[in-house]
Every structure is written in C-alpha cells, then in structure tokens.
C-alpha cells in the first residue's frame, strides 16, 4: 500500500490562520506606514494627496540626518564589540569546556536573562551607572579615581555598556551552533600536517563558523537599530536614535513625518541585512 | 612543543576570563536590583542600603490609585496566557502544513519569520496608524494581542519546525497502513510525540508577550500592560518600588520557564514509558 501523505488542500487550511495573522497584523500595517509617509503633513486622512516633500524635509534638517548617522554608528560599534566578545565566549564554551555539567551551567547563566524583561534589565543598570552608582563606588574604593565619573549615566558610553549586556548573547548563539557542527577530525588533520594552532583557526575553524558569525551580526544589527528603550532610559532623553525620533514625532502629532522616519529606519535595516548576506551564503548555516 | 602548550593554556585562560567576566557583567545589575529592593523605608535607589525590610513590597500591595501595579499585572498575565495558547495552536498548524512543502511554502516561511525581523516599535506604530485611519479603538486584548502574536509566533513556528525535522514519519505511516484516519493518526500518534515542542512554543508565547514593551507602546489603549506602567513610573521617578516590582516580574518570568520545563520533562517521560509498555514488533 502506498503511503498517504498530507495533501496540499489540507496544508493551505492549516497554514492559513498563521499566514493571515501575519498579513493583517504585520504586512498591511507596515505598507500603511509607507503610504502615510507620502501624505501631506497637515491633516490625517485617507484622501490625502501623495507627496515626497516629507522626505525632503527630513534630509534638509542636519539634526535628523545626524540621528540617522548616530543610529547606524551605534549599530556598527555594537557589532564589533558583541562580535569579538560573543565569539570568544562561544569558542570557550564549545572548545575549552569539556565537562557537560559545567557547559550546561555556563550556558544557562548566559541564556536565562533572555527570559526576563528587557525593560527591567535596563532599569537595573541605573543604580550601576549613576554618580553614586555601583561602578563609581567600586572605582573610588580601589582608588582608581578620586572623583565619581559622571560619564556613565546619560551618555553614549552608558547606553553601549547596557546594550553589550543585552545583545552579546545574540552573537554567541549562532557561533556556538556552527562550532559544534565542525567535525573534530578537521582541525586534527591540519595539526597532523603541522599547521600551527593559529593557522588551524584562521584557515579551518573561522571560515567554517562564518555563517554563524554573520547571522549573529544580523541579529545584533537589527536589534540595535530598533532599540529605543535603552537610549531613552539610560540616555535620559539626551540621546535619540531613529526609534526615539518616531516616538517624539508621534507624540507631537506629526504622523506622516513619524512615518517617514519609520520608513528610513526599515530601509536602513533592509540594506544592512542585504549587505551582510553578501558576505556569506546563509544557506550554509547548519551544514557540517 | 612546551611553548605551544603554554600558549594554548594562555588562550584558554583569556577566553575563560572573558566568559566569566561577561556572566558577572550580565548578572550583577539584576542581582543588585533584587538586593536593593529589600532596603529599608528610608532607603534610596542605590547603595548603601538603609536597613533590610519588606517595606517596598508591602508598598506594592498597599498603593491603590495611580501607581497600582495590580490591574496591569493581571492584564499582562491574561494577555500572556492568551498569547501562549494562540502561539502553540498557530505554530503547530503552520509547521504541520510546512511538512508537505506546498506551493508558496518558501514565501510562507519568510512571511512568518518577518515577525522577528520587523522592529517592534514600528509594528505597533503601523497598527496604531491603521486603527486611527479606520476609526477603530486600541485595546490590550485586541490590537496589543495582535502585535504580540506577530512577535511570539515565529519563535513557536521555528520550535515546531525543528521538532518535525527530527520526527520519524514511519510512525504515522504505520498507523495509516493500519487504516487509521488522518485525524486519528494526528491525535493518537503525531500530537503526543510533538507535545514537548508544543509546550515549548507555548512557553515562548507566554514569556515573550509578558515582557513585551516595544510592540505594546503604540498599540495599547488607555488600559495599559505591566511593562508600560513600569516604564511610565520609571520616567516620572525612580523609586525602590520599581526594584520590588522588577524582582516580582522577573520571578514570574523565571517561574513560568521552570514550570514549562517541568511539563516538558513530565510529558516526555510519559511518552517514553508508554512506548516501552507496547511490545516491540518483530521486523526482519
């Protein structure tokens, strides 16, 4: 008897609800943002004539263009830091930690905070960074500084410090996955042929983990670009990324201009991902 | 040769130090917040602590009007439960559909994954704009629910895809050969075997929705969820009450993870015992 498989009509019925949900709650609203960004600034009506004037207004204001530059710059800085730290952690976990119990404990230590509120984790950084904060108290106690450092809270440095603690995990995870998939025999073969450990790493291990690195970088890039809460909470309304600009414009009722900033944010994110995918064929992720 | 060994050890030490330092870096703020939440009634939001008390937790229970965290907490839990069930059901159906690789299944895959890629703030923004243009109201149980599912569904979907990837199709084929209907096969064979995955999807639905802030910001009406109320309070003034509510909500999140992990273990063990109870057929 031939095996009966799921027939496509059943598949469409099963796939329908989830697909429809994504269309109605995600795709349609996103396209609507693009449409609204072309509306004339005054009045909020579906009958509004379409214009590109809002985009012209954005690029005519240096302050706004600065925010765009700052957002991209912050994403790049974060990609470098989380890339290096994240790879180091992944390499240590997979290659150097041999005991399964210790590996599990370290792994849980890294992953558990992901299951808690990002907002609470952001607020938790405040007593750390302030003038009377834990970092300053520690620095004063060991005599590294004689006056509290004010540069931690309400600064880009503070935002970066907090973001590193949130997003490094995103860079670590995919690398752990690709490192695990490398057969032990490969580096061993290279070593038999007298390759130095550094050669083994650069010629064998690193290229094989590159898809994981790129996926991690994409995740960090997308998350930092979209992050506004860290800047708002730790930057104390002094620093704005594109997300903060959207909130500011929305609250002052400039909907079509907020839509313009949203479209620019999404476009930058898409461009960044497209560039990163040029580096490596993502479909190689998961191959041994 | 000896130099090589030393260098290897140095690298290991350096990488180990990075890992341990990062773990401390990641955990210390949260632990500090938890410790500071037990400060005395005159205590501030940083060290030194002024005595040890449960004052700020009692404050959470006592406060009635503006800063009352209890109704938002109830809303957030209700919303998270709804997202949990919906995510599990939609993800199971979607992943089951993907097994047949229907026409357009590739695009469908990316459509679902779009939910992780799309910036949360803008998803809420789009829904808020759309509701305004259509003259519809926003509420946590309609618009917020809709955008939370957009975020939780891809995680559940990927979980279920991974589960079905390792699924032994022959078990279903055996049932079908024995004249079981597709319906019976699914509920008697497939569903019990993938149940741990379904629970995993439900867990994603619960915790991701419970903690979600960015998507809720624009999409929620006047009745706000817990993260929104926490943020509003934080924006006004940082008080030790916020540390207390932070400790409580972290406990809820981690409690949910622990509960779901126990459920997965329980069901996995039950399936295994049942499988062993059936005598193995003699297949040459």
| CATH number of A180's domain | 1.10.3720.10
Using a CB-CB cut-off of 8 Å, the residues of chain A touching B12 are 92, 96
Task: Give the number of other Cβ atoms within 10 Å of residue A18's Cβ.
Answer: 28
Measure the CA angle with vertex A80, ends B6 and A142; round to 5°.
Answer: 65
Place of tokens 């890339």: A83
Using a CB-CB cut-off of 8 Å, the residues of chain B touching A44 are 132-133
Using a CB-CB cut-off of 8 Å, the residues of chain B touching A5 are 100
Average pLDDT over residues B182-211: 88
CA distance A44 to A24: 21
Q: What is the pLDDT of residue A285?
A: 61
The confidence band for B51, taking pLDDT boundaries of 50, 70 and 90, is confident
Q: What is the pLDDT of residue A271?
A: 92
**A107: buried, middle or exposed (CB in 10 Å: 19+, 13-18, 0-12)?**
middle
Is B228 in CB contact (< 8 Å) with chain A? no
The confidence band for A281, taking pLDDT boundaries of 50, 70 and 90, is low
Task: Give the number of other Cβ atoms within 10 Å of residue B97's Cβ.
Answer: 24
The confidence band for B283, taking pLDDT boundaries of 50, 70 and 90, is low
Domain with A179, as residue range(s), is 48-284
Residue B55 has pLDDT above 80, yes or no: no
CA distance B160 to B154: 10
Residue B137 has pLDDT above 60, yes or no: yes
Question: How long, in residues, is chain B?
Answer: 284
Inter-chain touch B126–A33, beta carbons under 8 Å? yes
Q: What is the pLDDT of residue A3?
A: 45
Inter-chain touch B213–A229, beta carbons under 8 Å? yes
Q: Of the ranges A135-149, B59-73, B188-202, B267-281, which is most confident?
A: B188-202
Average pLDDT over residues B119-129: 91
| A18 belongs to a structural domain | no
Residue A222 has pLDDT above 80, yes or no: yes
| A263 belongs to a structural domain | yes
| A100 belongs to a structural domain | yes
**A145: buried, middle or exposed (CB in 10 Å: 19+, 13-18, 0-12)?**
exposed
The confidence band for A288, taking pLDDT boundaries of 50, 70 and 90, is very low
Q: Please state whether the peptide bond connecting residue A173 to the residue before it is cis, i.e. omega within 30 degrees of 0.
A: no
Domains and CATH numbers, chain B: 69-277 (1.10.3720.10)
| A153 belongs to a structural domain | yes
CA distance A86 to A107: 13
Q: What is the pTM of this model?
A: 0.86
Inter-chain touch B230–A7, beta carbons under 8 Å? no
Residue B284 has pLDDT above 80, yes or no: no
Q: Which two tokens stand for residue A65?
A: 């263009």
Residue B84 has pLDDT above 60, yes or no: yes
Q: Across the strands, what pairs with A39? A: A50
Between B190 and B4, the more confident residue is B190
The confidence band for A1, taking pLDDT boundaries of 50, 70 and 90, is very low
The confidence band for B78, taking pLDDT boundaries of 50, 70 and 90, is very high
* Sequence-distant (≥ 6) Cβ neighbours of residue A60 within 8 angstroms: none
| A4 belongs to a structural domain | no
The confidence band for A2, taking pLDDT boundaries of 50, 70 and 90, is very low
Q: What is the pLDDT of residue A282?
A: 62
Using a CB-CB cut-off of 8 Å, the residues of chain B touching A15 are 93-94, 97-98, 102, 105, 108
Inter-chain touch B12–A88, beta carbons under 8 Å? no
| A137 belongs to a structural domain | yes
CA distances (Å), B15 to each of A172, A206, B88, in order? 13, 16, 39
End-to-end CA distance of chain B: give it in Å, rounded.
Answer: 54
Q: What is the pLDDT of residue B61?
A: 76
Task: Give the number of other Cβ atoms within 10 Å of residue B234's Cβ.
Answer: 20
C-alpha dihedral, A39 to A43 to A49 to A51, nearest 10°: -40
Distance from CA of A213 to the nearest CA of B (A): 17
| A10 belongs to a structural domain | no
Question: What's the number of domains chain A is made of?
Answer: 1
| A28 belongs to a structural domain | no
Q: What is the pLDDT of residue A135?
A: 77
Between A136 and A266, the more confident residue is A266
Inter-chain touch A128–B108, beta carbons under 8 Å? no
Q: Which two tokens stand for residue B227?
A: 């993260």
**Nearest residue of A to residue B153, measured between CA atoms:** A18
Q: What is the pLDDT of residue B82?
A: 94
Q: What is the pLDDT of residue A181?
A: 84
Q: What is the pLDDT of residue A29?
A: 92
What pLDDT digit, counting tens, does each position of A56-73 carry?
A: 888 888 888 888 998 999
Using a CB-CB cut-off of 8 Å, the residues of chain B touching A7 are 100
Q: What is the pLDDT of residue B89?
A: 94
Q: Per residue, what are the HEC states of chain A?
A: CCCCCCCHHHHHHHHHHHHHHHHHHHHHHHHHHHHHCCECCCCCCCCCCECCHHHHHHHHCHHHHHHHHHHHHHHHHHHHHHHHHHHHHHHHHHHHCCCHHHHHHHHHHHHHHHHCCHHHHHHHHHHHHCCCCHHHHHHHHCCCCCCCCCCCCCCHHHHHHHHHHHHHHHHHHHHHHHHHCCCCHHHHHHHHCCCCHHHHHHHHHHHHHHHHHHHHHHHHHHHHHHCCHHHHHHCCCCCCCHHHHHHHHHHCCCHHHHHHHHHHHHHHHHHHHHHHHHHCCHHHCCCC
Using a CB-CB cut-off of 8 Å, the residues of chain B touching A123 are 33, 230, 234, 238, 242, 246
Residue B64 has pLDDT above 70, yes or no: no
Is B236 in CB contact (< 8 Å) with chain A? no
Phi/psi of residue A50, nearest 5 degrees = -95, 140
Q: Across the strands, what pairs with B52? A: B39
Inter-chain touch A127–B157, beta carbons under 8 Å? no
* Sequence-distant (≥ 6) Cβ neighbours of residue A150 within 8 angstroms: A131
Residue B3 has pLDDT above 50, yes or no: yes
């Amino acid at each position: 008897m031939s095996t009966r498989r799921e027939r496509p009509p059943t598949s469409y019925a099963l796939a329908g609800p989830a697909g429809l949900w994504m269309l109605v709650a995600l795709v349609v609203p996103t396209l609507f943002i693009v449409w609204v960004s072309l509306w004339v600034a005054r009045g909020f009506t579906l009958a509004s004539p379409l214009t590109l004037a809002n985009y012209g207004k954005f690029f005519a204001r240096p302050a706004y263009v600065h925010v765009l530059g700052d957002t991209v710059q912050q994403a790049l800085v974060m990609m470098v830091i989380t890339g290096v730290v994240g790879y180091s952690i992944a390499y240590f976990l997979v290659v150097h930690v041999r005991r399964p119990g210790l590996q599990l404990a370290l792994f849980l230590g890294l992953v558990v905070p992901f299951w808690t509120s990002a907002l609470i984790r952001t607020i938790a950084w405040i007593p750390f960074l302030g003038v009377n904060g834990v970092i300053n108290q520690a620095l004063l106690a060991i005599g590294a500084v004689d006056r509290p450092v004010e540069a931690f809270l309400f600064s880009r440095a503070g935002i970066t410090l907090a973001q590193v603690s949130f997003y490094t995990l995103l860079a670590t995870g995919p690398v752990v996955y690709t490192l695990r998939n490398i057969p032990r025999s490969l580096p061993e073969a290279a070593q038999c042929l007298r390759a130095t450990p550094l050669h083994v790493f650069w010629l064998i291990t690193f290229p094989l983990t590159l898809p994981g690195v790129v996926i991690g970088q994409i995740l960090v890039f997308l998350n930092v670009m979209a992050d506004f809460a860290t800047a708002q909470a730790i930057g104390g309304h002094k620093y704005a990324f594109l997300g903060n600009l959207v909130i500011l414009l929305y609250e002052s009722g400039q909907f079509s201009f907020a839509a313009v900033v949203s479209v620019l944010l999404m476009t930058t994110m898409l461009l960044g991902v497209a560039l990163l995918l040029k580096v490596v064929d993502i479909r190689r992720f998961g191959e041994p | 040769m000896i130099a090589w060994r030393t260098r290897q050890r140095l690298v290991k030490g350096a990488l180990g130090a990075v890992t341990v330092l990062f773990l401390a870096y990641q955990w210390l703020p949260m632990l500090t917040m938890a410790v500071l939440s037990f400060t005395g009634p005159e205590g501030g939001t940083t060290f030194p602590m002024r005595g040890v008390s449960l004052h700020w937790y009692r404050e959470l229970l006592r406060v009635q009007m503006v800063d009352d965290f209890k109704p938002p907490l109830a809303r957030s839990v209700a919303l998270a439960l709804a997202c949990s069930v919906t995510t599990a059901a939609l993800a199971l159906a979607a992943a089951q559909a993907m097994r047949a690789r229907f026409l357009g299944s590739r695009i469908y895959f990316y459509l679902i994954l779009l939910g992780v890629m799309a910036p949360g703030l803008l998803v809420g923004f789009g829904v808020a704009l759309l509701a305004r243009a259509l003259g519809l109201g926003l509420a946590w149980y309609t618009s917020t629910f809709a955008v939370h599912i957009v975020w939780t569904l891809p995680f559940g979907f990927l979980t279920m895809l991974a589960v079905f990837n390792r699924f032994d199709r022959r078990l279903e084929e055996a049932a079908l050969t024995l004249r079981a209907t597709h319906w019976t096969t699914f509920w008697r064979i497939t569903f019990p075997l993938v149940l741990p995955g379904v629970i995993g999807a439900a867990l994603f639905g619960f915790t991701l929705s419970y903690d979600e802030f960015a998507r809720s910001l624009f999409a929620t009406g006047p009745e706000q969820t817990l993260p929104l109320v926490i943020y509003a309070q934080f924006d006004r003034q940082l008080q030790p009450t916020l540390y207390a509510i932070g400790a409580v909500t972290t406990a809820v999140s981690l409690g949910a993870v622990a509960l779901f992990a126990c459920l997965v273990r329980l069901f996995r063990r039950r399936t295994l015992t049942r499988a062993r109870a059936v005598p193995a057929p003699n297949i040459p």
